[in-house]
Amino acid sequence: MGQTTQTLLKVLVDQRRWRYVDFERHFRQSAAGILTGSAKKLTVSESQFRRWTSGRVQTLPGAEACKVLEHMFGVDSASLFGPPPSALPAPAFNLEDEIAMTARDAQSEASATAAESISDTTLDQLREDVTTLAREYSSKPAFDVWRRAKRLREQAESERDRTQVPVQKQELLILAGQACALLATAAFDLGSLDSARRLSRAAALYGETARFDPLQAFAGGTLAYVAYYQGQPAEGARHARRAQAFTGLGDVARRRLAAIEARALGYVGDAPSARRALDVTRQDGSGLTDDLHDAVGGEFGFSAERLAMSNASTCLLIGDAEGAEAAAKQSLEFAAARPAAGRAVKVVGGAAADLAMARLLRGDLDGAIAAMMPVWDIPRGQRSPGILARTTRVRRALAAAPYRAAPQAIEVAERIEDFTRVSDTHLLGPGAGPLAALEG
């Protein structure tokens, strides 16, 4: 190349009045538009730019850089780094050249933008898949949910790596976080409480990064009932209260957190505080909704029957058998009003077990045995820790006075043992936790 004081590249850059930032932007956009693989991210440093335009280049740049420069200026690289032609005209406005350069720039920028984003169709499909899984959760075995949620989280992360569009990145963070929250719930339902806690924290981090409070609040509620099941109800109550401090939550989210807090307080033995939290769950609310608990719903929601089931368990914890029976009956009535395909078997079974327990507390053995009938219909893959905890509590009551000598009580207690033994949760690990159930 030789030592020169002026190159054609320098002249062309000066004609365009490009500074380094202008040159680098055009170079980067051209690389993204015409190169392939990792070379699409090729760029040029300011020091390299200075060398290229100073006339001190001894050899041509690499083949990929030369290809980009030729695309930018329409001149072969050897000529670009050589002296300008002696007859090179003075810079002058040329309409045809201006149009051609603008067209090339627009094409390069459009190609770069396309390469740094994902299609709306891809994003729409991922959003729909996460929503569908959340809404189908109650009718699927936990392990099936686990596998699907795992794939969805991985897909969201993969797409997030491909896009540089801020709005797309934020939505993909939220979708990855929702999939992670479903993984946490599935891990809990499979009896893996340590993993459920870790995944809940990961979901909360996704929500924090995306500045999406409803996801953080949902994850906080999950952390609360995981802590409860690990024998730390006071910590569970703290998680629930902390989650209630997030803004932008709808009435459903706040009822869910209040119900979780009430259960934890009941297990601690703080009946007055538990009753106050129960009162919050029964309030009409202010008509507020949010983009997770309401817009997505399903496992992220908290249906009327699920709320009533939760309150029935809390009433049992604070010794209110009458209130427990009323709430359990209400839960079953709400569930019965839904189409059969839309009923959550775990909620129906949980409410039935609580109803049986409430009847045992007031001495109605026949009524308790009748109440247990929906429990036997729960598939083994959907026998969550909440279900197992409730049925275990019933079994222990049947094995104690005044029922332990009754043949019907012995038969039902043995059936509960079989029900627990063949559940997927039992096979994975000890999932029943404390006797009082928190979340079915």
- Work out the average pLDDT over 336-341: 89
Instruction: Calculate the average pLDDT of the chain.
Output: 88
Using pLDDT thresholds of 50, 70 and 90, give the confidence band for residue 265: very high
Q: What is the pLDDT of residue 105?
A: 60
Which tens digits make up the pLDDT trace of 106-159? 665 555 555 578 889 999 999 999 999 999 998 898 899 999 999 999 999 999
Around Cβ 75, how many Cβ atoms within 10 Å? Answer: 14
For the entire predicted model, the pTM comes to 0.73
**pLDDT (mean) for 69-79:** 89
* Residue given tokens 């999406």 in the structure block: 212
Dihedral sign from CA coordinates of 360, 365, 367, 371: positive
Whether pLDDT at 6 is above 60: yes
List phi, psi (to 5°) of 86: -65, -25
More confident position, 426 or 263: 263
- Average pLDDT of the segment spanning 316-330: 96
The pLDDT-based confidence of 21 (bands split at 50, 70, 90) is confident
Higher pLDDT, 156 or 15: 156
Burial class (CB in 10 A: 0-12, 13-18, 19+), 47: exposed
What is the rounded average pLDDT of the residues 371-388? Answer: 90
Distance CA 228, CA 437 (A): 9
What are the structure tokens assigned to 45, written together? Answer: 């440093």
3-state secondary structure of 339: coil
Q: What is the DSSP code (8-state) at residue 342? A: G
Residue 422 tokens, joined: 């063949």
Identity of the highest mean pLDDT range in 93-97, 103-107, 157-161, 178-182:
178-182
Identify residue 133 by its one-letter amino acid code. L
Q: Which range among 47-61, 73-87, 179-193, 421-435 shows the weakest confidence by mean pLDDT?
A: 421-435
Say what angle helices 120-136 and 166-189 make with each other, to 10 degrees. 20
- Confidence class for position 84, pLDDT limits 50, 70, 90: confident
Span 173-179, average pLDDT:
98
